[in-house]
Amino acid sequence: MQHDPISEHQDHPQYTAAERAQAASRSTWVSVGVNLVLTVLQIVVGVLSKSQGLIADGIHTLSDLVADFVVLFANHHSQKDADAQHPYGHQRFETAASLILGMLLFAVGAGMLWSAVSKLQAPDTIATVHISALWVAAGALTAKELLFRYMLRVAKRVKSSMLVANAWHARSDAASSLVVGVGIIGNLAGYPILDPIAAAIVGFMVLRMGWSFGWNAMHDLTDRAVDDTEVQAIRQTLLDTPGVSGVHDVRTRKMGDMIVVDAHLEVLATLTVEQAHDITVAAQRRVTQHHRVLHLLTHVDPYHRPDLDHTQAILP
């Protein structure tokens, strides 16, 4: 089963929905500012310096800018309270946003790859780029790497897979700027064909990352379970609840960055209905406090202990 990038949940503080939304909004607006400046600079200088690689990198940055607004939209709607149409809340808006990001990246990467391959088929039309393209590529590389590190730190702190996806989108831009820089250097050194080759590599990188994000989001939207390590941790928390004699049939499914859990709890058959109810309430409270569980649905099964009589079975 695929590793969940934010499943390391055990020893980290839990953040409220409002805190997560605020952190997401703040980091994304920082990304908007950086990407807006870089998009204009890369495309304008790319056109003036005749660098197809830099133009491709600018288009990639433009897709980041669009992605930022998708994240802001999803972040706003995912924080809405549960209603009649969405009884479990709106957390899957984040997963849907990750799917849109993946589709966007895939489409942008395919277009960039097609454009670069078309250029490679006509090498005589490849121009020598101006040195200014190299300086812009270097500046973009530095800015994007710093942006990636900032956004990933925030995403892991608040445990948001949508922000993780957007952070790695920024890292893909940093990697693409590095490739473009190498292509520009090769062009300036007398190998003009290296510039569109760099553009093709960038296109492939973007396409591959888009496929990865989209594929993962699609699985989460179709009720993929969390990884086995996290399932076992939730199961152990249930077993550690006083009054729970056994746990089986633990099932999980993603709800955005949260988890919905179904579990069968075994309690002593001699307990009263009220006592069994109190045990399940305690189990629900413990699980939601220690894990990123949005809701726990329990089914109580009787557990027979022939070695205990009625008075020993009743909890104080």
User: Total domain count for the chain?
Assistant: 2
Highest-confidence range of 174-178, 261-265, 311-315, by mean pLDDT? 261-265
Whether 84 maps to a domain, the answer reads yes
State the burial class of residue 237 (Cβ atoms within 10 Å of its Cβ: 0-12, 13-18, 19+).
buried
Average of per-residue pLDDT across 288-295:
85
Residues listed for the chain: 316
Average of per-residue pLDDT across 30-52:
89
**What ranges in the chain are assigned the alpha helix state H?**
17-49, 52-78, 92-120, 132-158, 161-188, 194-221, 228-239, 273-290, 310-313
Residue type, 107: A
Please tell me whether residues 144 and 94 are part of one structural domain. yes
Whether 10 maps to a domain, the answer reads no
User: Is the per-residue pLDDT at 107 higher than 50?
Assistant: yes
pLDDT of residue 263: 92
Average of per-residue pLDDT across 78-84:
63
CATH code, domain with 302: 3.30.70.1350
Please tell me whether residues 217 and 238 are part of one structural domain. no
Contact 261, 234 (CB under 8 A): yes
Whether 23 maps to a domain, the answer reads yes
Least confidently predicted of 155-159, 230-234, 282-286: 155-159
Whether 7 maps to a domain, the answer reads no
User: Is the per-residue pLDDT at 58 higher than 90?
Assistant: no
Please state whether beta strands 258-268 and 293-303 pair in parallel, antiparallel, or not at all (unpaired). parallel
Please tell me whether residues 209 and 258 are part of one structural domain. no
Please tell me whether residues 148 and 283 are part of one structural domain. no
pTM of the model: 0.60
Please tell me whether residues 211 and 285 are part of one structural domain. no
Phi, psi of 251 (to 5 degrees): -125, 140
Please tell me whether residues 255 and 141 are part of one structural domain. no
User: Is the per-residue pLDDT at 44 higher than 90?
Assistant: yes
Nearest to 257 by CA among 65, 67, 70, 96: 96
Given 174, 198, 221, the domain boundary residue is 221
Instruction: Output the CA–CA distances (angstroms, integers) from residue 207 to 55, 60, 173, 175, in the order listed.
Output: 17, 11, 12, 13
pLDDT of residue 3: 43
pLDDT of residue 80: 64
pLDDT of residue 306: 64
Query: Which of 169 and 286 is assigned the larger pLDDT?
Result: 286
Please tell me whether residues 204 and 306 are part of one structural domain. no
Give the pLDDT confidence of 89-106 residue by residue, as tens digits.
666 777 777 788 788 888
Domain ranges, residue 269? 228-313
